Structure 1
Amino acid sequence: MENQKVWFITGASKGLGLSLVKQLLSKGDKVAATSRNAADLNKIIANHPNFLALTVDINNEEDVKAAIAKSMEQFGRLDVIVNNAGYGLLGSLEELSEEEARKNFNINVFGSLNVIRNVMPHLRAQQSGYIFNISSIGGFSGNFPGWGIYCATKFAVQGFSESLAEEVKPFGINVTIVSPGYFRTSFLEKDSINVPKNQLDVYQSVRASQTAHQQQINGNQAGDPEKAVAAIIEMSSVENPPLHLFLGEDAYNRAYVKMDAVKTDLEKWKKMTIATGFN
Structure 2
Amino acid sequence: MKNTNNNENKKVWFITGASKGLGLSLVKQLLADGQKVAATSRYVASLVKATGETSENFLPLHVNLADENSVAEAIQATYNTFNRIDVVINNAGYGIGGSIEELTDEEARESFDINVFGTLNVIRAVMPFMRAQRWGHIINISSIAGIASGTGWALYAATKFAVIGLSEVLAEDVKEFGIKVTVVAPGAFRTNFLAADSLVLTQSPIDAYQDVRNTHARYLQMDGQQIGDPEKAAAAMIKIADDENPPLHLLLGEDAYNRAMAKLLVLDKEFRLNEELSKSMAYQG
**Pair in the same fold by TM > 0.5:** yes
Alignment of 1:145 onto 2:137: no
Equivalent position amino acid for 2:46 in 1: D
The aligned residue for residue 134 of structure 1 is 141
The aligned residue for residue 19 of structure 2 is 13
Alignment of 1:228 onto 2:211: no
Equivalent position amino acid for 2:33 in 1: K
Q: CA deviation at 1:108?
A: 0.1
Alignment of 1:123 onto 2:130: yes
Alignment of 1:49 onto 2:73: no
Point out 4+ residue stretches in structure 1 off by more than 3 angstroms.
Answer: none
Q: CA deviation at 1:276?
A: 1.1
Q: CA deviation at 1:189?
A: 1.1
Alignment of 1:1-279 (within 5 A): 1-44=7-50, 45-142=52-149, 144-214=150-220, 216-279=221-284
Q: CA deviation at 1:190?
A: 2.2
Q: CA deviation at 1:267?
A: 1.0
Is the partner of 2:199 in helix, strand or coil?
coil
The aligned residue for residue 3 of structure 2 is none
Is the partner of 2:74 in helix, strand or coil?
helix
Q: Distance in 1 between matches of 2:273 and 2:48?
A: 56
Q: Distance in 2 between matches of 1:114 and 1:69?
A: 13
Identity %: 55
Unaligned runs of 5+ in 1: none
Query: How large is the Cα RMSD of the aligned pairs?
Result: 0.8
Q: Distance in 2 between matches of 1:268 and 1:131?
A: 37
Equivalent position amino acid for 1:117 in 2: R
Q: Distance in 1 between matches of 2:217 and 2:96?
A: 14
TM-score (norm 1): 0.98
Q: CA deviation at 1:275?
A: 0.7
Q: Distance in 2 between matches of 1:47 and 1:267?
A: 57
Q: Distance in 2 between matches of 1:55 and 1:190?
A: 21
Unaligned runs of 5+ in 2: 1-6
Q: More displaced, 43-52 or 240-249?
A: 43-52
Is the partner of 1:194 in helix, strand or coil?
strand
Q: Distance in 2 between matches of 1:134 and 1:176?
A: 9
Q: Distance in 2 between matches of 1:130 and 1:46?
A: 25
Q: CA deviation at 1:163?
A: 0.6
Q: Distance in 1 between matches of 2:123 and 2:216?
A: 33
Equivalent position amino acid for 1:77 in 2: R
Per-residue deviation, residues 136-186 of structure 1 (Å, max 9, x unmatched): 0001113x1110000000000001111100000000000000000001100
Q: Distance in 2 between matches of 1:222 and 1:140?
A: 19
Q: Distance in 1 between matches of 2:178 and 2:53?
A: 34
